[in-house]
């Protein structure tokens, strides 16, 4: 069953990548379009593939499943909500905003999308840039994007799964239904992650460890499905997860934790002074390592898979048509492993930080 599931996911990855090649990436700015003039066909394909890979890593205001050769979109629009200081709150559907198209009028002002960012324009659709080439008329975006939608779906899925699991245990201590599949994973998180790294106080952290493990795992798996959902490859998401871990670690830490940071016991006074800034810096390096590891690994996987597919269209010969699909399939299967591995690593390191914050040191016995 597991082999069939992996093969199915692999097939879906090819389906997604194939359809992706027929999308017209309209997020290029005029200067980028001008830069491709005079290039050979292969160089233009290279530029278009690079732009598509960048576009794929971005969040989207609409849920586009695929785009056919004739330009027809398969998908559905999402709610767009943003705040403009001059014109207040605006609400519309993403189908009203077009990347690089005619601006949308709302409350007497005009707005369009630039690289999936909502910006204010004039009636002609002209965008104001500063001397560094950055858009000046930005707005505060609170839209339900594709990434936000998948987070909501993941949260609802987890509530349903664990709610069903809790109800099954009320009826019997023998797991039934979905609990049969969740219980081994829950026990794994408890026995192999929480208890060895945290110790006797592991119970108060179990709810968070289980939440973050399944949350990252489900989002990673969704990222391997068609539709191009790159949620854990969004640094804003990984920053938020690492920030929650950081706050819990600091507010649940005991006195020994803070003593080892500000005045390391058992070492000379001069070394205490030297070690204090290093330990303080380490407090912030730990969550930074968490967010960068998850973000970089998931983004790199998407980039490698999309790059291998792009090489088929770049070389356009029989060798590339055979070799690169095979390599893509192998890398994709590896990404399935990485999806589980990254969820495990994030949860394990979180448990390690919790354990360090609650460790009891008996220096007298040690000496």
pLDDT more than 90, % of the chain: 22
pTM above 0.85, yes or no: no
Q: Residue 182: inside a domain, yes or no? A: no
Cα distances (angstroms) measured from residue 96 to each of 29, 101, 228, 313: 20, 10, 22, 32
Could you report the per-residue pLDDT of 208-245, keeping only the tens digit for each? 999 999 999 999 988 887 666 788 888 889 999 999 99
Regarding whether 226 and 116 lie in a shared domain, the answer is: no
Task: Please say if the pLDDT value at position 166 is more than 70.
Answer: yes
3-class DSSP state for residue 89? strand
pLDDT at position 43: 67
**CA 178 – CA 43 distance, rounded (Å):** 51
Residue 155 has pLDDT above 50, yes or no: yes
Asked whether residue 179 is assigned to any structural domain, the reply reads no
**Phi, psi dihedrals of residue 28, rounded to the nearest 5°:** -75, 145
| pLDDT mean over 87-115 | 80
Q: Is residue 247 included in any domain, yes or no?
A: yes
Q: Supply the pLDDT for residue 367.
A: 42
Assess whether 83 and 202 both reside in one domain.
Answer: no
Same domain, 107 and 215: no
Span of 143-152, 173-182, 239-248, 259-268 with lowest mean pLDDT: 259-268
355 and 217 belong to one structural domain: yes
The answer on pLDDT for 1 being more than 60 is no
Residue 219 lies in a domain: yes
Does some domain include residue 332?
yes
Same domain, 263 and 347: yes
Please identify which residue in the block is written with the tokens 């949860």.
Answer: 347
pLDDT of residue 348: 95
Spatial strand order in the sheet of 79-84: 88-93, 79-84, 140-141
Can you give the pLDDT at residue 16? 37
Pair 123, 230 in one domain: no
In this structure, is residue 187 part of a structural domain?
A: no
Same structural domain for residues 221 and 335? yes
* In contact, 103 and 112? CB cutoff 8 Å: yes
Domain membership flag for residue 7: no
Using an 8 Å Cβ cutoff, are 221 and 339 in contact?
A: yes
Same domain (yes/no): 305, 228: yes
Token pair belonging to 85: 């200081």
Same domain, 111 and 227: no
Q: Where in the sequence is the domain holding 284, given as residue range(s)?
A: 192-362
pLDDT tier for residue 49 given thresholds of 50, 70 and 90: low
Residue with the bigger pLDDT between 86 and 285: it is 285
What is the number of domains present in the chain? Answer: 2
Alpha carbon separation from 158 to 182, 219, 220, 243, 334 (Å, rounded): 11, 11, 14, 21, 25
Same domain, 349 and 204: yes
Residue 8's pLDDT is what?
Answer: 36
Cα–Cα distance measured from residue 201 to residue 253, given in angstroms and rounded to the nearest whole number: 12
Look at 150-164, 196-210, 298-312 and tell me which has the smallest mean pLDDT: 298-312
Residues 102 and 209 in one domain: no
DSSP code, position 225: S
Residue 23 lies in a domain: no
Average pLDDT over residues 59-70: 71
Tell me, yes or no, whether 311 and 210 share the same domain. Answer: yes
């Amino acid at each position: 069953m597991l082999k069939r599931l992996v093969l199915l996911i692999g097939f879906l990855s090819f389906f997604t990548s194939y359809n992706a090649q027929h999308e017209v990436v309209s997020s290029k700015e005029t200067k980028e379009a001008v830069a491709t003039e005079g290039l050979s066909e292969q160089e233009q394909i290279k530029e278009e593939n690079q732009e598509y890979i960048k576009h794929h890593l971005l969040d989207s205001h609409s849920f586009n499943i695929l785009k056919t050769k004739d330009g027809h979109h398969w998908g559905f629009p999402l709610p767009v909500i943003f705040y403009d200081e001059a014109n207040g709150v605006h609400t519309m559907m993403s189908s009203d905003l077009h990347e690089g198209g005619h601006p949308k009028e709302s409350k007497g002002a005009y707005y369009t999308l630039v690289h999936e960012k909502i910006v204010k324009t004039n009636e002609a659709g002209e965008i104001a840039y500063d001397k560094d080439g950055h858009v000046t008329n930005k707005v505060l975006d609170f839209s339900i994007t594709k990434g936000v939608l998948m987070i909501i779906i993941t949260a609802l899925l987890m509530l349903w799964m664990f709610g069903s699991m809790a109800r099954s245990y009320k009826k019997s201590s023998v797991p039934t239904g979905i609990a049969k599949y969740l219980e081994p994973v829950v026990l794994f998180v408890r026995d192999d992650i929480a208890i060895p790294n945290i110790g006797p106080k592991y119970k108060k952290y179990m709810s968070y460890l289980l939440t973050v493990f399944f949350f990252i795992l489900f989002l990673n798996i969704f990222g391997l499905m068609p539709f191009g959902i790159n949620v854990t490859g969004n640094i804003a998401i990984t920053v938020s997860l690492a920030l929650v871990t950081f706050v819990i670690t600091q507010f649940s830490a005991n006195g020994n934790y803070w003593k080892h940071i500000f005045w390391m016991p058992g070492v000379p006074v001069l070394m205490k002074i030297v070690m204090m800034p290093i330990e303080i810096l380490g407090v912030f390096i730990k969550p930074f390592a968490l967010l960068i590891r998850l973000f970089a690994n998931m983004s790199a996987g998407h980039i490698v898979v999309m790059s291998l597919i792009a090489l088929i269209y770049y070389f356009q010969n029989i060798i590339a048509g055979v070799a690169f699909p095979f390599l893509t399939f192998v890398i994709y299967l590896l990404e399935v492993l990485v999806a589980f591995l990254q969820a495990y690593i994030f949860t394990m390191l979180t448990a390690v930080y919790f354990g360090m914050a609650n460790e009891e040191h008996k220096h007298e016995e040690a000496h």
